């Protein structure tokens, strides 16, 4: 994903405080998640810069298969820094070993049903590639069982957006159990 694509598709308005908390990566097109279980992202406020931009703590947790051991918890931490005065554009930089890696991302799909005094219930991000993963799209929800219309709205949103139409191809549901099959979201939608 190019930075221009991320800039063009990121939402104009985002209340980042409503996006903090735990998110389940429900659907994605990042192959990294095909052999992992129940990936989640937790955003929390790290600090606010003197120019008003916000930095977030970004904790990604999942279960990864280890040879001869089975699935074990794993995680990756980073800091997301707001890039511009557009509240939906950020750059991730990893912590510890990952500190040498960055990627740009933007919030492209945001819950528009929940009242403004409540946390968002679903969001989607578009992000650039790193050395370890291709760029892609993550649809994230507060629960692993969102209302069906959320998925349908997201599929329509991607189909109607000229940039996202091709980039959202082959999105699949993340797995909860080792024996779960991979299902592509386009195959399960009801129009």
> Which domains occur in the chain, in start order?
3-188 (2.40.128.20)
Torsions phi, psi of 149, nearest 5? -60, -25
Instruction: Please name the residue that has the structure tokens 């291709």.
Output: 134
Instruction: Please name the residue that has the structure tokens 């993550």.
Output: 138
Task: Report pLDDT for 98.
Answer: 67
Task: Report pLDDT for 38.
Answer: 94
HEC assignment per residue over 48-60: ECCCCCEEEEEEE
Q: What is the pLDDT of residues 92-146, one digit of tens each?
A: 998 877 677 889 999 999 998 999 999 999 999 999 987 777 789 999 999 998 8
Q: Which of 19, 35, 6, 8 is nearest to 172 (CA)?
A: 35
Contact 30, 136 (CB under 8 A): yes
**DSSP characters for 66-112?**
ETTTEEEEEEEEEEEEE-SSSTTEEEEEESGGGGG-EEEEEEEEE--
- What the block records as the tokens of 86 is 């557009």
Task: Report pLDDT for 191.
Answer: 47
pLDDT-flagged residues of the chain (< 50) = 190-191
Separation of alpha carbons 63 and 186, rounded Å: 25
pTM over 0.85: yes
């Amino acid at each position: 994903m190019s930075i221009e694509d991320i800039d063009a598709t990121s939402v104009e308005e985002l209340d980042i405080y409503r996006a903090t908390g735990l998110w389940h990566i429900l659907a994605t097109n990042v192959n990294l998640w095909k052999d992992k279980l129940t990936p989640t992202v937790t955003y929390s406020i790290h600090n606010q810069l003197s120019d008003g931009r916000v930095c977030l703590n970004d904790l990604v947790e999942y279960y990864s298969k280890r040879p001869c051991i089975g699935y074990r918890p794993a995680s990756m931490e980073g800091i997301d820094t707001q890039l511009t005065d557009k509240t939906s554009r950020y750059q991730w930089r990893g912590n510890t070993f990952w500190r040498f890696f960055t990627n740009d991302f933007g919030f492209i799909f945001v819950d528009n049903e929940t009242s403004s005094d409540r946390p968002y219930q679903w969001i989607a991000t578009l992000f650039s590639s790193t050395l370890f993963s291709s760029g892609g799209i993550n649809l994230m929800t507060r629960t692993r069982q969102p209302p069906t219309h959320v998925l349908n709205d997201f599929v329509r949103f991607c189909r109607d957006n000229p940039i996202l139409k091709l980039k959202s191809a082959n999105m699949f549901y993340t797995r909860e159990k080792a024996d779960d099959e991979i299902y592509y979201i386009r195959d399960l939608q009801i129009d």
